[in-house]
Amino acid sequence: MRRIIYFLLVTLWSCNAVSAGGHGVALEAANVDLANKTSLQRGAGLFVNYCVSCHSASFMRYNRIADDLNLSEEAVQTNLMFTTDKIGDVMKVAMRPADAEVWFGVAPPDLSVIARSRGADWLYNFLLGFYFDESKPTGVNNRIFKDTAMPHVLWELQGLKRPVISHGEESSGHGAVAEVTQFETVIPGKLDEGEYKQAVRDIVGFLVYVGEPAKLVRYRIGFWVITFLLVLLVPAYLMKREYWKDVH
């Protein structure tokens, strides 16, 4: 039994280490807070402005966003609905799949469950990991997802960075360097580093919410469930004492 427990602990630790490493690259924690509705609202705005032009979220409806994120339907129609005029529609992509294949070689994936398949930390570091690489058709590469076909759609917020090559490092060609962790700004963005990280955290938080909206429901009822169980504990304990007082 002791060996089985030890084996399970080692296995769990190994899985966590692999997921945290992201193919050997240490991942910074996203620290997503689904209880922060303001952050989720900002994330929804950034998502529709920078992502929906290529990526859909076909499992999520706009009226569900309005209900869950404490937004009026009028606010959602005005600020979030750029690809439809029906509040009950799903978040459709603005670009045709055929055009996407011509421009990018492959149609960009639906992002409804990307946070569940990749993980919030991976997404967070992916959006932070773009750097200038003139050898790529999009002009950028990514330290988390090498040779990604996705352009740096948030470049105007973050700016463009170039990997810093120290003495002894080998270039993989045209400025693309394997496992580089130091970057220098080539073109500054609208946001400083802290502001950009918060913007990315907002987007990732929204995608985590889209992947499992029921989490917000669990958060709402969780407090009352725990409170009920704690209150129930008192009469249950008193009843236990009453039943067992003659046994001892």
Q: Are 176 and 141 in contact (CB under 8 A)?
A: yes
Q: For residue 216, give the nearest of 226, 206, 204 by alpha carbon.
A: 206
Q: Is residue 248 part of a domain?
A: no
Q: Is residue 74 part of a domain?
A: yes
What whole-number distance in Å separates Cα of residue 129 and Cα of residue 22? 12
Q: Which domain holds residue 35?
A: 2-241
Q: What is the count of structural domains for the chain?
A: 1
Matching residue, tokens 């807070």: 33
What whole-number distance in Å separates Cα of residue 155 and Cα of residue 132? 10
Instruction: Supply the pTM of this predicted model.
Output: 0.76
CA distance between the termini of the chain: 33
Quote the pLDDT of residue 22: 44
Q: Are 22 and 122 in contact (CB under 8 A)?
A: yes
Mean pLDDT calculated for residue range 54-80: 93
Mean pLDDT calculated for residue range 201-228: 90
What whole-number distance in Å separates Cα of residue 15 and Cα of residue 194? 30
What whole-number distance in Å separates Cα of residue 41 and Cα of residue 52? 15
187 pairs with which residues across the strands? Answer: 160
Q: Is residue 236 part of a domain?
A: yes
Q: For residue 140, give the nearest of 149, 131, 148 by alpha carbon.
A: 131
Q: Is residue 247 part of a domain?
A: no
Q: Is residue 128 part of a domain?
A: yes
pLDDT at 14 over 70: no
Quote the pLDDT of residue 179: 56
Q: Are 206 and 40 in contact (CB under 8 A)?
A: yes
CB-neighbour burial class of residue 173 (10 A; exposed 0-12, middle 13-18, buried 19+): exposed
Quote the pLDDT of residue 98: 81
Instruction: For residue range 101-121, list pLDDT tens digits in order.
Output: 887 777 889 999 999 999 999
CATH code of the domain in which 179 resides:
1.10.760.10
